[in-house]
């Protein structure tokens, strides 16, 4: 599904008390992982915060002939689920 024109795009957003407190969007996996590791999970647990993760694969033609952006996303409230999902979404070893 991927080609050279469409590289992966990684996005995360940390939401605490209904407000976005941290956000990162980049094509660089290394930059994204370094920024993702700075999340303070203990603080998020205290305030019932969560992290939104999205991995976009680029624009492709769907089964109806329309050009759409393909992506996987989800909300996570613990670190282990986030890392397992990131590994699955990025289709590579972390």
Query: What is the distance between the alpha carbons of residues 56 and 42, in angstroms, rounded to a whole number?
Result: 28
Longest dimension (CA), the chain: 46
3-state helix, strand, coil in the chain (%, to 5): 30, 45, 30
pLDDT per residue over 15-70, tens digit each? 998 899 999 999 999 999 999 999 999 989 888 899 999 999 989 899 999 999 99
What's residue 93's pLDDT? 54
Helix (H, G, I), strand (E, B) or coil at 15: strand
């Amino acid at each position: 599904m991927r080609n050279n024109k469409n590289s992966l795009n990684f996005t995360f957003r940390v939401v605490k008390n209904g407000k976005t407190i941290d956000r990162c969007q980049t094509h660089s996996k290394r930059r994204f992982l370094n920024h993702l590791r700075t999340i303070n999970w203990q603080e998020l647990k205290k305030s019932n915060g969560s992290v939104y993760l999205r991995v976009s694969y680029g624009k492709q033609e769907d089964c109806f002939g329309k050009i759409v952006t393909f992506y996987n996303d989800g909300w996570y409230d613990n670190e282990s689920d986030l890392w397992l999902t990131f590994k699955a979404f990025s289709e590579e070893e972390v």
